[in-house]
Structure 1
Amino acid sequence: MSQYDVLTIGNAIVDVISRVEDEALLRLAVEKSAMTLIDAERAVSLYEAMGPAVEMSGGSAGNTVAGLVSLGGTGAYIGKVSSDSLGEIFAHDIRSLGVRYETAPLSGEPPTARCMILVTPDGERSMSTYLGACVELGPEDIDETLVAAAKVTYFEGYLWDPPRAKDAIVKAATIAHDAGNEVAMTLSDSFCVDRYRGEFLELMRSGTVDIVFANEAEALALYETDDLDDALVRIGQDTKRLAVVTRSEKGCVVVRGAERQTFEATRVETVVDTTGAGDLFAAGFLRGYTMGLDDARSAALGAVAAGHIIAQIGPRPMQPLAKIPQAARLLNGG
């Protein structure tokens, strides 16, 4: 039997989150609602120019496994940090949640990755990411025993930016499938899709990936269309097991081949920060999926987790998600 529900693989990043007005994005030359890769010099200058900020461990796949264990699941994580103060913060934070994390840190340069996140009054986040130690993640960091012990191995599309990480993911997918387990990915960002469209489609069509998570913009970008129905038909044809396309307040669509079901979002009175919404939706859905729940309850768990996270600052739950009444009912068969 599998020891873990989900193993996630991603860029191990410490988030630096600051609330700003829209004019600050223009002043700082930051593209709104996008994730932009930056170099070390830009990272230093942007950090110095930001106002008061909150620092916390983040990274897309890290947020997902944090949400999964907060919902009572078992999880593990693979991601590269450096042996510096931010690396120690990241390792402590994720282990304190009950996530297994044993990736060996780098000694020396480059330093641990950090993402400067500017959150505007509409709750949108604009991210500038310095990958730092993340670029050193490689096949040697893939623990074969760990991958074989997870029902689902999930990775973020952002990993296609660090070159050696691609080989690491292919290795992990082979191990997972050989053990009779499944592989999932998130497309991460429409700009990421634009960079690696052909490679992402090949991962799906070849069966390297069984499950795909995307938001509406990413699904449209993947097929270079402005017709969502067209994108849903094609993503159903290209995925081996299923695809889940989120649509913010419009809920989500679960696609299994030619079949599709639409599920509602959780109503949120005030959107504070959309950072991590997709990550936490994936956490909730995968928690339900690995429990054997049907798509409706898995999607509902995803919606509850995403709705909770956008009502707070930061992408990691500040209270156990399993104790939220809506989540507790779903987890207990309601």
Structure 2
Amino acid sequence: MSQPRLDVLAIGNAIVDVIAQADDAFLAEQGLDKGSMTLIDAGQAQRLYQAMAAGREVSGGSAANTAAGVAALGGRAGFIGQVADDQLGEVFSHDIRATGVEFDTPVIDNGVPTARCLVLVTSDAQRTMGTFLGAAQHLPAGALDPKQIEDAAILYLEGYLWDPETPRAAMEQAIGIARAAGRKVAFTLSDSFCISRHREGFLALIDGGYIDILFANEAEIRELAGEEDLDAAIAAVEGKVPVLVVTRSEKGAIGLAGGTRAEVAAEPVEKVVDTTGAGDLFAAGFLTGHAQGRGLEESLRMGAIAAAEVISHYGARPEADLKALVASRLG
């Protein structure tokens, strides 16, 4: 097996986030479930955008945020995601490349605009998202570069992109390429909403042995396993994947690999401003540590450090020097 050129190659929704503050009353008025992600159509996106307060435009997308985090940690990262030939497409393409992430997916010009996520942040730092997938859900298998996939140590996929049929087929093809090349496949369940729609499909991937590293939060692992008790949910899943990572917000994270269990506390944060991207950056830290050959606990700690940085400010991309933060805390 050849040495990988990239540490992590992520496939996911190419989205520009519009982030604004809101209160619980506004969320209720808009029919949004606090703390969750809701898929919306173009009309809903337009109405919500007009109703919400003035916002900041920041490139996002779950797997794209993870790729940006890997690059910020000194890793070699690539991203595959679909944007349109429009202004937000240019914004996304510029921003992801500016982080040092390899991004070569051709744009499409079929009249469907680049995806955007309207992120409403309440005073308790919880984020509620209305997502219009736009061009992102049109990522075709033809946009994949098999050589790029073969050249990545870890292929990282987001559950959010599993919903539309076209990108799901592309992701399934990418999994086949990666496994044929002897590379690892990592998968994040993304949201309980995704599991409720695609639980059988996710379980088929896991039971079929296609996933090497699985990321979930507490709610997601319970939903996947069909168990209310966290320990029972973990026990139901851990034997099916070589590495299982369960994030627990302020309670830290649990990692299980090859019969070894490690737990880490959440890194201290002076003030939680916006939890958008916490899971994405945790994955970035863990995957970077894993690619570097670090142990389970140290990789979890890298994830916790990256997550703590991103929740200390608005936006889901790191602003501080993550590589220096990790060096100062882990050596």
| SS of residue matched to 1:103 | coil
2:109 maps to 107
| SS of aligned partner of 1:147 | helix
> Is contact 2:65-2:281 (8 Å) kept?
yes
The equivalent of 1:215 in structure 2 is 217
| Corresponding residue number in structure 1 for 2:124 | 122
SS in 1 for 2:239: helix
Does the 8 Å contact 2:73/2:285 carry over to 1?
yes
1:273-298 residue CA offsets vs partner (Å, 9 max, x unmatched):
00000000000000100000001110
Give, in whole Å, the separation in 2 of the partners of 1:254 and 1:234.
14
Which residue in 1 is equivalent to 2:320? 319
Say what the alpha-carbon RMSD is for the aligned residues: 1.1
Counterparts of 1:21-170 in structure 2, within 5 Å, are 21-170=23-172
CA–CA separation in structure 1 for the residues paired with 2:106 and 2:145: 11
Matched residue count: 329
Q: Which moved more, 1:166-175 or 1:68-77?
A: 166-175
TM-score for both structures, normalised by structure 1: 0.96
1: CA distance, partners of 2:117 / 2:88: 12
Structure 1 residue ranges without an equivalent (≥5): none
Report 1:266-285 matches (<5 A): 266-285=267-286
CA drift at 1:256: 2.2
Question: 1:157 offset after TM fit, Å?
Answer: 0.3
> Are the counterparts in 2 of residues 236 and 257 from structure 1 also a CA contact under 8 Å?
no
Unaligned runs of 5+ in 2: none
1:263 alignment counterpart: 264
* Dislocated runs of 4+, deviation >6 Å: none
> Which residues in structure 2 correspond to 1:4-19 (within 5 Å)?
4-19=6-21
1:29 Cα offset (Å): 1.9
Residue 323 of structure 1 deviates from its aligned partner by: 2.0
Contact kept, 8 Å, 2:309 with 2:320, in 1: the verdict is no
> What secondary structure sits across from 2:117 in the alignment?
strand
Cα pair 1:249 1:267 within 8 Å, conserved: no
Corresponding residue number in structure 2 for 1:328: 327
SS of match in other structure, 1:222? helix
Could you tell me whether the CA contact under 8 Å between 1:139 and 1:168 is conserved in 2?
Answer: yes
Distance 1:256 1:5 in 2: 20
Once the two structures are TM-superposed, the CA of residue 180 in structure 1 deviates from its matched residue by 1.2
1:143 Cα deviation from its structure 2 partner: 0.8
Structure 2 distance, partners of 1:27, 1:185, is 34
Which residue type is aligned with residue 129 of structure 2? M
Q: Which digits, 9 at most, give the CA deviation of each residue in 1:228-275, with x for residues without a partner? A: 111111111221x11100011111111225442212110112111000
Distance (whole Å) between structure 1 residues aligned to residue 308 and residue 319 of structure 2? 13
Aligned AA (1:87): G
**Is contact 2:257-2:296 (8 Å) kept?**
no
Deviates more, 1:144-153 or 1:156-165: 156-165
TM-score by structure 2 length? 0.97
Task: Measure, in 2, the Cα distance between the counterparts of 1:91 and 1:120.
Answer: 29
Q: 1:226 to 1:257 in 2, by over 3 A?
A: farther
Aligned identity (percent) is: 48
Matches of 1:318 and 1:184 in 2, distance apart?
Answer: 25
